[in-house]
Amino acid sequence: MSNIKNVIKKVFNQKKEESWLFGAKKEGKDNEWGNPIASYTITFESNESQLESIYYWLLDFIEDGGWETKKIVDNFMSSPGSGHFAEMGQRLTRLQEEGMKIFGALNQVIKSVLNLIYDLKEFEIRLKIYDDAKSEDKKIRESGILGLKQIWLDNVDVKRGRGSIHGMSQEMGFTTIREAFMIANSIDDLKKMNRKFEKEWEIGEGIINDQVMRILIPRISEFLKWGDYSEKELRKRMSIEKNYLKSQVETIKLYSQWLKPYLKSAEQLRQKGFDNNSALVNAFSTSMFELELFAKNPKGEEVPNKFGDYNLKRKYYPCIVINMGYRGHVSQKVTQRGDYGFAVGGRIDITFDAYAINSEELKFIEEELVKEDVEESMQFSSDMAQEALKELKEDLDYFLKNEDEKKKDDEKMVKKKKSKEIDPFKAIFNLFRGKTKKEKSKEPEKIEDLKKDNFIEQEVRVAAANTAADFLYAVYDVYKKSHGMASTPEPLENQNEDLTKEPKAKFKDIFRGREGNW
């Protein structure tokens, strides 16, 4: 996971606002903005020190002060020769095995859903032919009946072999039998086609002879019955498969919920963050942890009273960052009761930093954190249901929604289209009327588009910086005193000289005693 301090520097450097408040390097070097306005460090080593108790002490103290916290970095790594590595490896392997079992079952259900959708589309096409055969429009009805006859000939009658209509027309000389079947829609039609005709100059048979008529009468009767039965069975099967599709979709969602904790936990147990670190020796029993907390005051900083009712367009938050690093041993031990535990001891480094960040900068900082995490490692989506069903959403909505729901969706679409339509008279009226209200400023899309602080915003940022620095020193000082460490009765005075070069003396108090080491 990305270190937020580096991300803050990246955002402020791209913003390129040359303000002394963000901190610059010493003369002769390139300017680098985004340095903390106050910073403290604690380093100690103990054979019984535990990062867990330190982390929760700081977390509870900050949250009890009314600040919001967010864990930014949570990395760990152990040397292959340590017991901690073996323990974590066993847990990770178990999670991966269980996750892959569920994942395999999930893939089978997704394939089943694809097949069901394909079958339902086939049913939809076939039932459309039945609907056309019952249409009041003569041309559509004729087209539907011809389509059903073709299906009956190709799928039902063809099973008779040489006795089928196709077989007799090709092999037994009944040249008119197929055309007569396609023309006739009832037994009466066959009789009309067989009726003899008489004219002044000719007396002859009908279009078909008696032999063809005797063959086609039972075939026409069978076709008509098949049409009724097959439609009922097809609609029944379609209804069953729709219900089955619904249950399969719910199964996908259920499997996805089961799979999430396994994949999430497996990713969390993956060792990362200390690759090629010289402190990790293969044969040693060494473990390294890194935790980073980001906290901000959710209330933000108010505009000073001397500026009256000035309305801030963006909020300014006092923020602090606490980074905890651990290097030591985590070895397994047996207590007097016979149960197992871990003995922890080693070196702990804690860094405290304070910042003053506005809402727009904070948004870009969060986006950069996400972007860098994606670039650092291949992200695997744990929400398989959403990914699998997203592409099939249109088909699933069509087959799973009832008629009332479809009508409601259609009405919503019509309303949306109407709302997007432009009224020309209203547009012309607005054009000549002019702007009556100030247009709201759009949020910047790029870091380079961030606007510089105006005079009042700079004053608010200074106040936010003071608040962040004061609270940071309180956390640092109270932690040391509560753990029996040496502290000072007054704030430290070894502040960074580079950050105090602002000619306006009223800003210098921000950095008074804000940086120190112990």
Q: What is the pLDDT of residues 230-261, one digit of tens each?
A: 999 989 998 898 888 888 888 888 888 888 77
Query: Highest mean pLDDT range out of 140-154, 178-192, 447-461?
Result: 140-154
Domain spans in the chain, listed from the N-terminal domain onward: 4-79+285-380+423-517, 99-262
Residues 6+ apart with CB under 8 A from 89: none
Give me the torsion for CA of 143, 149, 153, 155, rounded to 10°: 90
Q: Is 425 or 111 the better-scoring residue by pLDDT?
A: 111
Phi-psi category of 144—alpha, beta or left, where left has phi over 0 and alpha has psi -120 to 50? alpha
Looking only at the bridges linking them, the beta strands covering 38-46 and 515-517 are parallel
Q: What is the DSSP letter of 497?
A: G
* Residue showing tokens 């403290």: 40
The mean pLDDT value of the chain amounts to 76
CA angle 389, 391, 397 (to 5 degrees): 65
Nearest to 289 by CA among 321, 328, 333, 341: 328
Q: How confident is the model at residue 475 (pLDDT cuts 50, 70, 90)?
A: very high
Residues 6+ apart with CB under 8 A from 361: 11, 12, 15, 450
* Residue showing tokens 């270190």: 3
Q: What is the DSSP letter of 305?
A: G
**274 contacts 77 by C-beta, under 8 angstroms:** yes
The mean per-residue pLDDT over the stretch 39-52 comes to 82
pLDDT over threshold 80, residue 351: yes
Q: 436: helix, coil or strand?
A: coil
Residues 6+ apart with CB under 8 A from 31: 18, 24, 25
Q: Is 125 or 84 the better-scoring residue by pLDDT?
A: 125
Task: Give the pLDDT confidence score for residue 412 in this predicted structure.
Answer: 64
Query: How many Cα atoms within 13 Å fall on the side-chain side of residue 165?
Result: 27
Task: Give the pLDDT confidence score for residue 322 in this predicted structure.
Answer: 94
